[in-house]
Amino acid sequence: MRYGVLGDIHSNLQAMEAVLGALEGAGVDGYLCLGDLVGYGADPKAVVDRIRDLDPVLVAGNHDWGVAGRLSLNYFNQQAKAAIHWTRTALPKEDVRWLGSLSPLAIEGDLTLAHGTVHEPDRFDYLQTPYDAYLSFECLTTSIGFVGHSHIPVTFFDGAPVTYSVDERIELGERRAIANVGSVGQPRDEDWRAAYGIYDAEARVVEVHRIDYDVDQAAERIIDAGLPPILGDRLHVGR
């Protein structure tokens, strides 16, 4: 089975459609979605509708729960709060309730999905260091996990010590791993292109891909919606 892996779409319809077009061309069999469908961007309804149609294995992100009122807005900075308030008005109540119904952790066969960490998924902490990964490996009951939240591609490998790789293609072999394939809608690794992954479960290979999209239109949509301009500006620089 080949999975398309989507993380942190953040209401960026232009980036999401570019990624899904690439994944359809790659012939994936299913999708994994690592949360934060909404927040920051200007097209939450279109993104939610498209993801629901895909019926992926899916977890909640902190912005999804923030919009649904399941996470205190004290967790967020001012720009993120403004986007959450705006998103609540832009989505039908049924979609808001659906976002709130999502779990922060999902296990599907030999796959574990979390937005932040596996060891404390409902806290939405970042998994960015070997020690963070060590804590999550202690709770990981499958051979591979996928996380998002940091918006930065990296794969950690279980062991003493925990190691990591930022390679774009990783053959896992027998190793247990936790992978972050980066952000579709708001990359933060100084590469503005949308990031996504493909996971071949039979070959046990993780690939991170980048694709151009209409970043100008995505930024203009943010400005036209009355969202904080910085949310559009940062798309151009991948930060």
Task: Note down pLDDT in tens along the chain; length 239 residues.
Answer: 999 999 999 999 999 999 999 999 999 999 999 999 999 999 999 999 999 999 999 999 999 999 999 999 999 999 999 999 999 999 999 999 999 999 999 999 999 999 999 999 999 999 999 999 999 999 999 999 999 999 999 999 999 999 999 999 999 999 999 999 999 999 999 999 999 999 999 999 999 999 999 999 999 999 999 999 999 999 999 99
Separation of alpha carbons 39 and 8, rounded Å: 9
pLDDT at 197: 98
pLDDT at 158: 98
SS3 letters across the chain: CEEEEECCCCCCHHHHHHHHHHHHHHCCCEEEECCCCCCCCCCHHHHHHHHHHHCCEECCCHHHHHHHCCCCHHHCCHHHHHHHHHHHHHCCHHHHHHHHHCCCEEEECCEEEECCCCCCHHHCCCCCCHHHHHHHHHHCCCCEEECCCCCCCEEEECCCCCEEECCCEEECCCCCEEEECCCCCCCCCCCCCEEEEEEECCCCEEEEEEECCCHHHHHHHHHHCCCCCHHHHHHHCCC
pLDDT at 140: 98
Sign of CA dihedral 110, 28, 206, 21: negative
Give residue-wise pLDDT tens across range 197-224.
999 999 999 999 999 999 999 999 999 9
pLDDT at 119: 98
